Amino acid sequence: MDNKVKRRLFGTDGIRGTANTAPMTPEMALKLGQAAGLLFTRGNHRHRVIIGKDTRLSGYMLEPALTAGFISAGMNVTLAGPLPTPAIAMLTRSLRLDLGVVISASHNPFEDNGIKLFGPDGNKLSDETEQEIEALMAQDLSDRLAPPAKLGRASRLVDAAGRYIEAAKSSLPRGLRLDGLRIVLDCAHGAAYKVAPAALYELGAEVIPLGVSPDGFNINRDAGSTAPRQLCEAVLEHGADLGIALDGDADRVILADEQGEIIDGDQILGLIARDMHAQGRLAGGGIVATVMSNLGLERFVAGLGLRLHRTKVGDRYVAEAMRELGINLGGEQSGHVILSDFATTGDGLVAALQVLAVLVRSGKRASEACRVFAPLPQLLRNVRYAGASPLGLPHIKTAIAAAEERLGSTGRVLIRPSGTEPLIRVMAEGEDSGLINEIVGGLCETIAQATEHAA
């Protein structure tokens, strides 16, 4: 396989787009099921795949199309229904399946949907494997599909939710309970709307649920980790100890302390890192984060005698670096937190439980315990462009180098193209907020002018 083949379908987190519009069509899902089924048919045993989804209306369209594709490739299909992405990753591994599939567009609105795949080890597929699948999808596979006697079957896993609830609960130290804690939980009308409230309730918490009435259209609408205002208001209204906001597929989490103030993924990472390090449970001498994580987190981790390793944006790349470096904690500022002792991908519920464990053991309020470092001023703006990316132009490179020189060791500049849209993301952070505003504004103007001239 030529690794230089450009991927057209797969992005940073599977395939994603507007439902019933290319590429997010039933025809594509059928072809994907056939191609992935053929690629992961290795050996003489009866091969099996599990399919989970979130609560979008279009899941009813894509699920049967994928099922038909896998069955025509000779794979047995296990249907799990609406379940968090980390639950499907966990079940793929624990049931010894050949493949796991999640139908979800994560934090996107209901009009979008997506498909992401997990290998037998519960990890997201590599870029190279996705390229192989995409190459197969471009071929005529009719001669390679299963004969009538070798077609797969479909069945439903009736205890899927219970299996995940028990796995999440087991991530807490033995004997630790949440009795006496009042928790507001916003499930974004998404995949965790049943399992997350059940897990917290079974652990003894008083749960005030939000976003647990999915109707196919309201996933992530003014709810969940990308719209936490109602979470913060509910925490104050109910006098809660903590607010937890998941996104549509529950692989990310944002928290609110008892004062209704947001706690982002960087603070969560820092808190868990310090706790695990103090207990001797942090492996690899550090943590993994992306280029977007705040410089304040990097300095905080260094103060613990640890190292922060950065990757490009995407929790898949964080997970890959964790495996390569032997590290068991990583994540993103957006709320993806990967604790590889318990999960192979971001798991919002498991991450929230680790924070709750710290609160229970310390007896501290969330506002005191969960703000482990002062974030440096950070500013991110987007510049839209048409045609080729302007980042290769000599005067753009010169402007970026000059900005980096102005900041020196007191901050950093990050310029990168979006992986999903024709946007240049311009970010800078440092100790002087005025200087950061000036640098980001200047770079955005320079890039925008270059784009106008190119047009």
User: What letter would DSSP give residue 40?
Assistant: T
Q: H helices within 73-171, ranges in order?
A: 85-94, 127-137, 160-169
Q: Amino acid identity, residue 210?
A: L
pLDDT at 64: 98
Q: Which residues are the active-site residues? A: 106
pLDDT by 10s per residue, the chain, length 455: 344 445 589 987 899 999 999 999 999 999 999 999 999 998 888 899 999 999 999 999 999 999 999 999 999 999 999 999 999 999 999 999 999 999 999 999 999 999 999 999 999 999 999 999 999 999 999 999 999 999 999 999 999 999 999 999 999 999 999 999 999 999 999 999 999 999 999 999 999 999 999 999 999 999 999 999 999 999 999 999 999 999 999 999 999 999 999 999 999 999 999 999 999 999 999 999 999 999 999 999 999 999 999 999 889 999 999 999 999 999 999 999 999 999 999 999 999 999 999 999 999 999 999 999 999 999 999 999 988 889 999 999 999 999 999 998 889 999 988 866 788 999 999 999 999 999 999 999 999 998 877 65
Is 384:454 a contact under the CB 8 Å cutoff?
Answer: no
Is 282:263 a contact under the CB 8 Å cutoff?
Answer: no
Is 189:55 a contact under the CB 8 Å cutoff?
Answer: yes
Q: What is the pTM of this model?
A: 0.91
What's the rounded Cα separation, in Å, for the pair 285 and 307? 6
Residue 358 burial by Cβ neighbours in a 10 Å radius (0-12, 13-18, 19+): middle
What's the rounded Cα separation, in Å, for the pair 92 and 111? 27
* Three-class SS state of 384: strand
What's the rounded Cα separation, in Å, for the pair 244 and 223? 11
Strand partners, 14: 11
End-to-end CA distance of the chain: 36
pLDDT at 409: 86
pLDDT at 420: 66
Q: Give the position of tokens 């753009």.
A: 396
pLDDT at 13: 84
Is 275:358 a contact under the CB 8 Å cutoff?
Answer: yes
pLDDT at 335: 96
Is 276:283 a contact under the CB 8 Å cutoff?
Answer: no
Cα dihedral value 128, 132, 133, 135, nearest 10: 130
Q: Which two tokens stand for residue 52?
A: 């989970």
**Concatenated DSSP letters for 343-356?**
-SS--HHHHHHHHH
What's the rounded Cα separation, in Å, for the pair 93 and 99? 9
Is 281:310 a contact under the CB 8 Å cutoff?
Answer: no
Q: Amino acid identity, residue 69?
A: G
User: What letter would DSSP give residue 391?
Assistant: G
pLDDT at 3: 43
What's the rounded Cα separation, in Å, for the pair 78 and 214? 23
What's the rounded Cα separation, in Å, for the pair 315 and 317? 5
Q: Which two tokens stand for residue 226?
A: 């990308």
What's the rounded Cα separation, in Å, for the pair 324 and 392? 31
User: What letter would DSSP give residue 108?
Assistant: S
pLDDT at 181: 98
Whether the bond into 23 is cis, omega within 30 of 0 = yes
Q: Give the position of tokens 């990472």.
A: 269
